[in-house]
Amino acid sequence: MNILNKIRGNRSRKPDPVSFWNWFVANDERLRNLNANDGALIDELGNQLSAFHPSLTWETGPAEDGGSEFTISADGIKEAFPAVKHLVASAPIIPGWSIVAFRQRKSPGPLEMDGIVLDPDDIWFSAIKKNSKLDLVLYVKGFGPQTARALQGASFILLDVIIGEYDVETLIGGIDWRELPIDPSAKWLRPLRDLPAFVDASGLRV
């Protein structure tokens, strides 16, 4: 299970990537065994990352090569993108670890938020190019006044998962939500799982 922790802190501290990575290497073994119940280490890692930049978040979990993966994210704050890039670029080679900038594309599964479960297959979309970005309309099953907040939050997370955090922030413009029609294909809508290919074919990425 991936572990996610959002960090906020004192913005007056001077960014110091060397100090962060020295701490990370010194605690290599502890971090490999990190789990959701290890509150003390989670707080310690959070404090170290906050000392570099207060708007960053992190995730850790198994890497595809069998090692461990440490992902540093701006958590949707575009102004923090340079900090993510700087910290990852400053990372030393740490055997057994993959250090990743921004949440990457993954195959999404159902997501629960505020008691509502949202399956990626329950989201379809339409898109138009506008001002060098894609404006999306997301058609979500069960969307309505009582469920809007939870489904909007869950769909934002699924967007990060399915097309990656960087593309969401740099290629997606406005987003609107509507109730999913009974026959979305008849309305010329596309399933959310088609969005990565649609984004890649848009010609917007430079």
Task: Look up the pTM and report it.
Answer: 0.78
Per residue in 117-164, pLDDT (tens digit) is 899 999 999 999 998 999 999 999 999 999 999 999 999 889 999 999
Three-state helix/strand/coil letters over the chain: CCEEEECCCCCCCCCCHHHHHHHHHHCHHHHHCCCCCCHHHHHHHHHHHHHHCCCCEEEEEECCCCCEEEEEECCCCHHHHHHHHHHHHCCCCCCCEEEEECCCCCCCCCEEECCEEECHHHEEEEEEEECCEEEEEEEECCCCCCCHHHHHHHHHHHHHHHHCHHHHHHHEEEEEEEECCCCHHHHCCEEHHHHHHHHHCCCCCC
State the pLDDT at residue 1. 43
For residue 206, name the pLDDT band (cuts at 50, 70, 90): low
